[in-house]
Structure 1
């Protein structure tokens, strides 16, 4: 093909592998290619670059320049609306923060982080985390939420297609820190909570999942829910949390440092593995007796 890796045009030096915008751009480029059923090698040949380079772009390990993106989209005959959306994503690759719109309930960027992270910490002060919810628990939460019917349907479909951490579909190690109020619910029936708590016991037996409880109702006031994604491949630590506008991805080192310190504080306040399982078992016994 004549493509020279050493002379490849790359993004500005300020752009770093593992930044949310770089990942989002890679996902968008891959979706555009896959939608047209073109293999990575064929597309790389058509735009005269090495397949390994295109693969790195799609995986978010490297960032292309604007002219590279334009060449790819032109070769794919992308329509104007999709073209503009991808260019909009490109213009966000030079910063460590990205907001994924709340309307995009499938959260493709979040899925990418889950599929590539080496270690994931999740703080859930009041609700069972999405990845650990049973179907009945999810349905109950949705029924008591402010989501419209269409949004509930899309959310349910997205959850159904979500990669399973229990089946080992995701490579990372998961450390879940749950506030004690998670063990109780004013919306779920006793049977739904029984099934949910027994499921927490089951997943905690897996080697790559750890579930611990932070005692006291005051635990919900420590900090709102957030997740920490660490990647040895990119060397980046990304904080993920919800805002009014969508899902926020923040790879700024200073912000990551603050959240990591908060994570350590919550871990220090959490019960041990055995104590946490005893707390769950005690709650199950209470539900059975009532």
Structure 2
């Protein structure tokens, strides 16, 4: 038997299979009986620890009556599930792997040099960021609704632990205008009072640090290796290799040492809010 893998793709496949199962109201053992699969094997598939064969995935998707678009997405994931890292093209946000990873993670660290952290964005700020000229009003509203729904992961008994390192430049970009930015910064201040959220600001500096190359997040999972997430305009990448993850962990340490304390970060937020409201 091959060793557990839990690559980003295998986990995305597993999360998608579990989501489809729950959407049809199947218990794990019930679906295992219906498809003649051992329950432990099905559990390993849903965790991403094992990769089912293509015909096994097709059997599950048929039993669960999965729609064509999602069926094709999951079959493509199964075909490449053993590849360690992953460059994902832009897909519909409802099925984006990153949303699935957030739901399964216990802890997320994110560095954001330019934009507000996604799980703390206000509705007006989201609209201002996603309202690109080529998007219709319906697309903007759909993207806004999806992003707001993802923020539920910060609430509830199994809420995500969310640690943010935010570049000072992000505070001074006027997405949506002064009133919307002031509201957004007040949202950050409020969030800093919650036990599961930590936020510190990295001041603008002439000193080089790993964060100048762009935003990144590290997602931690129970009993599974972490994943590094890199987001770009037309896609995103997931890194799984131990050395790469270790390099991003080291980057967190060096950047955090340059950041303001939480009380000083809160004071800076209040000062910028004052400037916006003057």
- Smaller-chain TM-score bracket: 0.7 to 0.9
1:195 aligned onto 2:193 = no
Would you say the 8 A contact 1:163–1:170 is kept in 2? no
Partner in structure 2 of residue 153 of structure 1: 141
The alpha carbon displacement at 1:260 in A equals: 1.5
Partner in structure 2 of residue 56 of structure 1: 44
SS in 2 for 1:22: helix
SS in 2 for 1:162: helix
Would you say the 8 A contact 1:227–1:240 is kept in 2? yes
Q: Choose the corresponding residue for 1:242, options 213, 216, 231.
A: 231
**Superposition CA RMSD, Å:** 2.7
Partner in structure 1 of residue 107 of structure 2: 119
Question: CA 1:108 to 1:169, structure 2 compared with 1: closer, same or farther past 3 Å?
Answer: farther
1:140 aligned onto 2:115 = no
Question: CA 1:47 to 1:183, structure 2 compared with 1: closer, same or farther past 3 Å?
Answer: same
1:40 aligned onto 2:41 = no
Partner in structure 2 of residue 68 of structure 1: 56
**Distance in 2 between the 1:181 and 1:81 partners?**
39
Summarize deviations over 1:180-215 as a string: whole Å, max 9, x none.
011112333222122111111110011111110000
**Distance in 2 between the 1:148 and 1:173 partners?**
33
Partner in structure 1 of residue 192 of structure 2: 204
Would you say the 8 A contact 2:174–2:181 is kept in 1? no
Would you say the 8 A contact 1:119–1:231 is kept in 2? yes
Would you say the 8 A contact 2:11–2:46 is kept in 1? yes
Q: Choose the corresponding residue for 2:77, options 65, 84, 89.
A: 89
Would you say the 8 A contact 1:163–1:169 is kept in 2? no
The alpha carbon displacement at 1:52 in A equals: 4.0
Normalized against structure 2, the TM-score is what?
0.86
1:265 aligned onto 2:251 = no
**Distance in 1 between the 2:52 and 2:164 partners?**
35
Partner in structure 1 of residue 245 of structure 2: 256
**Distance in 2 between the 1:188 and 1:95 partners?**
40
The alpha carbon displacement at 1:77 in A equals: 5.9
Would you say the 8 A contact 1:114–1:170 is kept in 2? no
Question: CA 1:224 to 1:49, structure 2 compared with 1: closer, same or farther past 3 Å?
Answer: same
Would you say the 8 A contact 2:175–2:181 is kept in 1? no
1:22 aligned onto 2:3 = no
SS in 2 for 1:164: helix
Normalized against structure 1, the TM-score is what?
0.83
Higher mean alpha-carbon deviation, 51-60 vs 174-183, is at 51-60
Unaligned runs of 5+ in 2: none
Would you say the 8 A contact 2:120–2:151 is kept in 1? no
Question: CA 1:85 to 1:139, structure 2 compared with 1: closer, same or farther past 3 Å?
Answer: closer
Q: How many residue pairs get matched?
A: 275
